[in-house]
Amino acid sequence: MKGSFLGEFEEVVLLATWVLKDQAYANTVRDEVSKHTQRDINLSAIHSALYRMERKGFLTSELGEASARRGGKRKRHFYVSTKGTEALNEIKRIRESFWQLVPATPVKGGSI
Amino acid sequence: MNNPKPPKLPLILLRLFCARHRLEELEGDLYEEFLENLEKKGLSKARRRYSWTIIRSFRRYIFEYQPQQYKLSYLSMMLRHYIKTAFRGIKSSKTLSLINLTGLSVGIASSLIIALFVADQYLLDDFIPDRAQIVRLEGQSDNSSTVGFSPLLHPGLGPAISELSPNVVSFTRMNKADINIRVEQEEEISFFKESFLFVDSSFFQMFPFELLQGRPDKVFESRRSIVITERMARKLFGTEDPIGKTVNASYHGRRSFVVTGILKDIPANSSIQFDLLSLADKNYSLNSGAFGPIPIYLKLVPGTDRQALAQLLSKEIANLTENQFIARQRYRFTAFDDIKYDTESTDRVIPAMNKSVIDLFVFLAIFILLLATINYINLSAARALQRGQEAGIRKVIGAGRGSFTTQFLTESLLLCWLTFPVAILLTHACIPAFENVLQKQLFNQYLTDPLFLVSVFGLVSLLGLIAGIYPSMIIFRFRFADFLKGKIGSSQKGNWFRKGLVVFQFTISIILILGTLMVERQLKFVQNQTLAFQAEQILVCDRALSGKLTQLKNALADIPAVNKVSLTTSPPGGDNAYMYGFNKTFGEILYWHEIDEDYIPLLKLNIVRGKAFDVEEKSSFDNQILINETMARLIETINPFNSDTPLDELYTFNGEQLRIRGVVEDFHIQSLHERIKPMIFQHGGSNPGAGNLMLRITPADMGNTMTRIRESWQEFIPHSPFKASFLDSQFEALYTSEVRLGKIFGVFTFLAVLISCMGLFGLSLHIAEVKTQEIGIRKVLGASISQIMSLLSGQIYLLIIVSAVIASPIAWYFGDRWLQGFAYRQTFSVGTFALTFFAALVLASLTTCWHTIKTARINPADTLRNE
């Protein structure tokens, strides 16, 4: 179905949001994604992905509390929607069905 | 710092453009990240990261404005609106926009190319820090008939002037010559002809060329020292260490030099180019009569009154020398930066380029840019008028003058900014071709020069502003009613202005076409002059000094394909070694050429009076001479003995009584820039001092002939290298600057005409569109297609005729001034003018006919239905 497709980066961001439960906003999501992927990621990339997925309906959001640490600005919390969890599960299912078919022989040219 | 803050400017940008409902959370996130980075990585990194993130944030999500929140980001919204309508405008008239874009890019690119080459010439030598203090000494002798100052002076003047005034910091003589050198290495002898620069040891104080090996103050401790460039070291000695190696050269008795230093290769932006650097001869005393004249360069204390110093030298020189010639000279200084433009008094060191050629190119650049701008203004105005209704509605809704102006400016700027990368790419792509034609590499790296990019961008933006203001001005002059009736499109307002611009464009184009034709004609004329010799069959060998030249000549004459061989000082077209001197009796400088009996028949010259030299009359070689027609006229005019037959008298030349044996027709030994001089031809006799061999060859089996000539040469003169070229190529070399000028001029003329035609194309499109309804009605009433075509294009022909009338006298004036530089020239012909006008008319018809025919053939029903 068009619109339910998730990019690799989007998938990771969505997973991070899910893992963080009600602590998910741009900065924590960034830290979480960085931690797991071991990559340095620019905040704007996270913003872009979050807002895009909100538009597509994978995420919902609401404004949260302000704090001095944020210069008195409120933060936007993101939550994974039902559509989001369904999309993640779908991806997992597709991947696993592939993995079961992968032969046990080593990849050509590989050393492991 | 107690309370470190994130950088302000990025935040302001974010606040300006970001959608209101996103701003708060984004700012918060960014600030939080900033504080985190501050603790972990320090202030500067945190600030950099903050700015970078904001720059990266300019993506779709910050522009997701919500409709009900328009008022919150007014500037951003209006800009968006303007940009949107601008793009719509550009899209709605694709042809006009494309013409606009192409014309402007081509115009900007071609003027950029010219500007780059001119800037390169202007920035020549900018690596010499004190060049403002460096001058060249020049002298003028009163009793010489040549007007103007010469830089070739007595070498003793350098020390003399530095003793006269404390303002002289240092001085060096400089002389450049191509000299044959010989290098012996492991039993192998190789010959080269390379450019030497002869200087004084103070050279490096004035011109700080970089030494890779050796110290500037030490390299010239011996008179046999020589400093060579890296390039030359590789050429002569390969990979071996050149220091201490011997270079043999035949120069004024000094035969062998020892390499004491290696120079970094001379940069291409130096006007002084050489490969070997060695000391000039010892200074002669100012009293010595015989001297080799040489250019002298001085470095003066900053702020020296140069005129006063020159006057001091002119006055005091009489006390320093008994040589009347030097004592009578007057002196002046020419600034180092002016020497490269000084074609009047040239030395061999710094090649001079005619400043008027550079000016011409600057004018060309400005003209082309003007043409492109005019096109742009004209087309934008036409398009703006077409969109009169849109403007009318805006005005009724309440758009003020400011908003109109902003809208047109945005549109114009956008289009101009689109041309910027196109123009830069075009420039970049075309530069190699121009380097090829001009035989000159651009030295300055313009693409990586931020100043260049910024100034071009600024120029483009300025163009956009200028071109945007005019249409907004004419639009604003109309009243509301006009707008809503949609009458603006066909309005006459501003029409005379646009027509004036078209006339201006065509005037410039016609001038350029006339100029190009004229340069072509003159070049063809010049080249035809050399055809008389059948120059392509005459081979000229480089000058060699040897006692065996006569024997070599006889050996060469035995080769069957060689028809004639002549030994002379003066092959036509360049490398000459003739003498000249002022003759008191005739009050002019006379030119002496040493020839032999084969010279005249080899060049197929006619004898107009008397006889040529004849081998049967060897006695005539010593005391008889040939003269040319110019000399004969001079003798007849002056007639020193008041004789009835002045050409039969005996005259004393160079202390010898000589009889005139014959008169040769006038022919060109030098380029056609020079007037034919009074010339005397003397036979070299049995022991000639001449050094050039000239051969007339049958063109068949050239390779074999050349091999045999080379073998004979090596047999008789093994110490000097054999080099030869054909006479026609030597003559061509005399006109390279004109040939290049012609080519470049041609290309830019083509571009200028192309741009003008684009403008015309746009204008005819506009006229056709405006008049569709009128034509519809005419057709209904019975007008034929040809009548309608003449109605549509009649105006344009009128404009071109007006342009032609304006252009002719201007082209004639400037062309005539250029031709003054040639002593022998073609004059303008009426035919050239007629041809040009005809071409302009044809061109204009071709450009306009497409629209004209299309409009004339439209079914009137289609156009009239609109009403």
The per-residue pLDDT for range B766-795, each reduced to its tens digit, is: 777 777 777 888 888 888 888 887 877 787
d(CA B68, CA B63): 14
Mutation target to probe the A interface, by most A beta carbons within 10 A, among B5, B14, B18, B29 is B29
Tally the residues of chain B. 867
Give the residue among B722, B687, B688 at the shortest CA–CA distance from B706.
B722
Mark yes or no for CB contact A71/B28 under 8 Å: yes
Mean pLDDT on B448-454:
83
- The residue of chain A nearest to residue B29, with distances taken between CA atoms, is A27
Structure tokens at B88: 């719509």
pLDDT band at A2 (very low <50, low <70, confident <90, very high): very low
d(CA B838, CA B840): 5
Structure tokens at B456: 């071009």
- The residue of chain A nearest to residue B24, with distances taken between CA atoms, is A73
**Percentage, residues of chain A above pLDDT 90:** 57
Q: Identify the residue with better confidence: A108 or A41.
A: A41
Mark yes or no for CB contact B31/A66 under 8 Å: no
The pLDDT tens digits for B293-305 are 788 999 998 888 8
- The minimum CA-CA distance between B20 and chain A, rounded to whole Å, is 13
The pLDDT tens digits for B35-84 are 999 888 888 888 889 988 888 888 888 877 766 554 545 666 777 777 88
Lookup result for tokens 């003559």: B731
Mean pLDDT on B132-154:
74
pLDDT, position A19: 93
Residues in chain B within 8 Å Cβ distance of A43: 29-30, 33, 53, 57
Mark yes or no for CB contact B53/A73 under 8 Å: no
Helix, coil or strand: residue B794: helix
pLDDT exceeds cutoff 80 at B711: yes
Lowest mean pLDDT among A91-95, B256-260, B280-284: B280-284
pLDDT, position B75: 65
Q: Give the predicted TM-score (pTM) of the model.
A: 0.65
pLDDT, position B569: 80
Among B25, B35, B36, whose Cβ lies nearest the Cβ of A74? B25
For residue B461, give every residue at least 6 positions away whose Cβ sits within 8 Å of its Cβ, in sequence order, or none. Answer: B413, B416, B417
Q: B572 and B669 in contact (C-beta within 8 Å)?
A: yes
pLDDT exceeds cutoff 80 at B551: yes
- Give, in order, the Cα–Cα distances in Å from B537 to each of B531, B598, B697, B700, B728: 10, 15, 5, 10, 8
- The minimum CA-CA distance between A36 and chain B, rounded to whole Å, is 19
pLDDT exceeds cutoff 60 at B2: no
Residues in chain B within 8 Å Cβ distance of A75: 25, 28-29, 32
- Compute CA B610 distance to the chain's CA centroid, rounded to the nearest angstrom: 47
* B22 in reach of chain A (CB within 8 A): yes
d(CA B594, CA B622): 12
Lookup result for tokens 């002037």: B161
As a whole number, the mean pLDDT across chain B is 80
Structure tokens at B806: 């304006």
Q: Identify the residue with better confidence: B118 or B731.
A: B118
Sign of CA pseudo-dihedral B854, B859, B860, B866: negative
Give the residue among B379, B197, B275 at the shortest CA–CA distance from B766.
B379
pLDDT exceeds cutoff 80 at A31: yes
d(CA B3, CA B541): 84
- Give, in order, the Cα–Cα distances in Å from B261 to each of B175, B194, B228, B235, B251: 19, 17, 7, 15, 20
Residues in chain A within 8 Å Cβ distance of B30: 43
H or E, element range at B174 = strand B168-185
CB neighbours of residue B202 within 10 Å: 20
pLDDT band at B700 (very low <50, low <70, confident <90, very high): confident
Helix, coil or strand: residue B228: strand
Q: Identify the residue with better confidence: B394 or B799.
A: B799
Mutation target to probe the A interface, by most A beta carbons within 10 A, among B15, B17, B18, B25 is B25
Lowest mean pLDDT among B249-258, B605-614, B707-716, B755-764: B249-258
- The minimum CA-CA distance between B65 and chain A, rounded to whole Å, is 13
Q: B804 and B783 in contact (C-beta within 8 Å)?
A: no
Sign of CA pseudo-dihedral B632, B638, B641, B644: positive
pLDDT, position B59: 84
- The minimum CA-CA distance between B476 and chain A, rounded to whole Å, is 43
pLDDT, position B494: 59
d(CA B388, CA B692): 78
* B32 in reach of chain A (CB within 8 A): yes
d(CA A52, CA B64): 11
Report the helix count and the strand count for chain A, using DSSP H and E.
Answer: 4, 2
Burial of B331 (0-12, 13-18, 19+ CB in 10 A): buried
pLDDT exceeds cutoff 70 at B467: yes
Mean pLDDT on B785-810:
84
- The minimum CA-CA distance between A52 and chain B, rounded to whole Å, is 8
Structure tokens at B18: 């970001």
Residues 42-101 of B with CB under 8 A from A: 52-54, 56-57, 59-61, 64
Among B31, B59, B64, whose Cβ lies nearest the Cβ of A71? B31
What does the domain layout of chain B look like in residue ranges? 8-64, 76-122+351-489, 154-328, 494-529+740-867, 543-722
Burial of B769 (0-12, 13-18, 19+ CB in 10 A): middle
Structure tokens at B653: 């030349």
pLDDT exceeds cutoff 50 at A112: no
pLDDT exceeds cutoff 70 at B419: yes
* A44 in reach of chain B (CB within 8 A): yes
B118-142 burial string, b = 16+ CB within 10 Å, else e?
Answer: eebbeebbeebeebebbbbbbbbbe
* A23 in reach of chain B (CB within 8 A): no
- Give, in order, the Cα–Cα distances in Å from B116 to each of B120, B419, B462: 6, 18, 19
- The minimum CA-CA distance between B35 and chain A, rounded to whole Å, is 8
pLDDT, position B702: 82
Size of interface A-B (CB pairs under 8 A): 60
Question: In this structure, are strands B134-140 and B296-300 parallel, antiparallel, or unpaired?
Answer: antiparallel
Q: Taking CA B415 as the corner, what is the angle to CA B414 and CA B419, rounded to the nearest 5 degrees?
A: 115
pLDDT exceeds cutoff 50 at A1: no
Among B31, B32, B61, whose Cβ lies nearest the Cβ of A47? B61
DSSP B193: E
Mark yes or no for CB contact B25/A73 under 8 Å: yes
Mark yes or no for CB contact B61/A70 under 8 Å: no
Among B25, B33, B36, whose Cβ lies nearest the Cβ of A76? B25
Mark yes or no for CB contact B22/A73 under 8 Å: no
**What secondary structure, in 3-state letters, does B632-696 show?**
HHHHHHHCCCCCCCHHHCEEEECCEEEEEEEEECCCCCCCCCCCCCCEEEEECCCCCCCCEEEEE
Among B24, B32, B52, whose Cβ lies nearest the Cβ of A27? B32
* B25 in reach of chain A (CB within 8 A): yes
Residues in chain B within 8 Å Cβ distance of A69: 31-32, 35
Q: B96 and B104 in contact (C-beta within 8 Å)?
A: no
The pLDDT tens digits for B623-678 are 888 999 888 988 888 888 888 888 888 888 777 788 888 999 888 887 766 778 88
Residues in chain B within 8 Å Cβ distance of A29: none
Residues in chain B within 8 Å Cβ distance of A51: 22, 61, 64
d(CA A64, CA A81): 18
The pLDDT tens digits for B472-525 are 777 766 665 665 565 554 555 556 777 788 888 888 888 888 888 887 787 777
d(CA B316, CA B853): 82
Angle between helices B772-780 and B830-857 (to 10 degrees): 70
Q: B174 and B197 in contact (C-beta within 8 Å)?
A: yes
Contacts of B669-672 spanning 24+ positions with Cβ under 8 A: B669/B570, B669/B572, B669/B573, B669/B576, B669/B593, B670/B572, B670/B573, B670/B734, B671/B526, B671/B573, B671/B731, B671/B734, B671/B735, B672/B526, B672/B529, B672/B822, B672/B823, B672/B824, B672/B825
Mark yes or no for CB contact A73/B28 under 8 Å: yes
pLDDT, position B145: 44
- Give, in order, the Cα–Cα distances in Å from B72 to each of A51, B69, B84, B104: 21, 6, 19, 38
Mark yes or no for CB contact B53/A75 under 8 Å: no
Mark yes or no for CB contact B24/A74 under 8 Å: yes
Helix, coil or strand: residue B47: helix
The pLDDT tens digits for B744-764 are 778 888 888 888 888 788 777
CB neighbours of residue B45 within 10 Å: 12
- The minimum CA-CA distance between A5 and chain B, rounded to whole Å, is 19
Mean pLDDT on B282-311:
79
Among B26, B35, B52, whose Cβ lies nearest the Cβ of A47? B26
Residues in chain A within 8 Å Cβ distance of B14: none
B272-311 burial string, b = 16+ CB within 10 Å, else e?
Answer: bebbbbbbbbebeebeeeebeebbbbbbbeeebeeeebbe
ipTM of the complex: 0.87
- The residue of chain B nearest to residue A74, with distances taken between CA atoms, is B25
d(CA B249, CA B720): 11
pLDDT exceeds cutoff 60 at B547: yes
Helix, coil or strand: residue B448: coil
**Percentage, residues of chain B above pLDDT 70:** 89
Q: Identify the residue with better confidence: B233 or B700.
A: B233
pLDDT, position A18: 93
Among B25, B31, B53, whose Cβ lies nearest the Cβ of A44? B53
Among B24, B33, B64, whose Cβ lies nearest the Cβ of A43? B33
Mean pLDDT on B288-292:
62
Residues in chain B within 8 Å Cβ distance of A44: 53-54, 56-57, 59
- Give, in order, the Cα–Cα distances in Å from B15 to each of B9, B63, B754, B826: 10, 11, 47, 70
| Domains defined for chain A, CATH in brackets | 8-91 (1.10.10.10)
pLDDT band at B290 (very low <50, low <70, confident <90, very high): low
pLDDT, position B789: 79
Structure tokens at B43: 């202030």
Residue type, B180: N
Mark yes or no for CB contact B57/A47 under 8 Å: yes
Q: B54 and A43 in contact (C-beta within 8 Å)?
A: no
Mark yes or no for CB contact A27/B22 under 8 Å: no
- The residue of chain B nearest to residue A67, with distances taken between CA atoms, is B28
* A69 in reach of chain B (CB within 8 A): yes
